[in-house]
Amino acid sequence: MTRILAIHSSARRDESVSRRLTEELVARLVEKADNSTVTIRDVAEGLSFPSEAWVTDRTIPQEQRTAEQNTALEQTDRLVEELRAADIIVVGAPTYNFGIPAALKAWIDHVAQPGRTFRYTEDGPVGLLSGKRVYVVNASGGVPVGSPADFVTPYLKHVFAFLGVTDVEFVAADQLMVTGDDSMRQARDAIEKAAA
């Protein structure tokens, strides 16, 4: 069975290009797989942000936490387990002011957990999520992917590599305010290629 985790982070709903293309890619991946399940996580609906207690308590093993600590870390635990269980992760990542939405950054803060998705060694950190595949669907109004102003794709590539995932593919619908139809066509071509 192929387990797909789809992450939506756009604040927009019906008019969101990243949501639409993420859904199209997930649908193509489901068609390709013999047997698959899809978990949809809409981080734009709201995630908690790190607090002082969260920063301290998240490294305590679950079996050693107090009931209060487990309650406070319930959201983090759920997000980490969703990510660890997935074989394929599809991230809808619009560009907001040259970077990712705050909601997506909050998700990253929740899932980048020492001892669970990466660990520290004498030689530096080692990611614990190898063997997974990530697709990032990036939509931007004016920022070209790969340009000096693109802080979305290199950041997400680095984050996933830090977690041990090096099989990362980008589907870009960039510069939509400039080359809308052409950009959408190229993104859909990339989806077909990615799901082939």
Pick out the residues of the known binding site for FMN: 10, 16-18
Instruction: Please tell me the distance from the alpha carbon of residue 15 to that of residue 9, in angstroms, as a whole number.
Output: 13
Q: Which helix (H) or strand (E) holds 3?
A: strand 2-8
Q: Determine contact, residues 155/99, Cβ cutoff 8 Å.
A: yes
Closest CA to 42 of 15, 72, 17, 19: 19
Q: Determine contact, residues 121/154, Cβ cutoff 8 Å.
A: no
Token look-up 């680095």 returns 158
**Both tokens assigned to 188:** 């859909």
- List, in sequence order, the alpha helices (H) in the chain: 17-32, 52-57, 67-72, 74-85, 102-111, 153-162, 176-194
Q: Would you give the DSSP letter of residue 62?
A: G
Q: Determine contact, residues 126/118, Cβ cutoff 8 Å.
A: yes
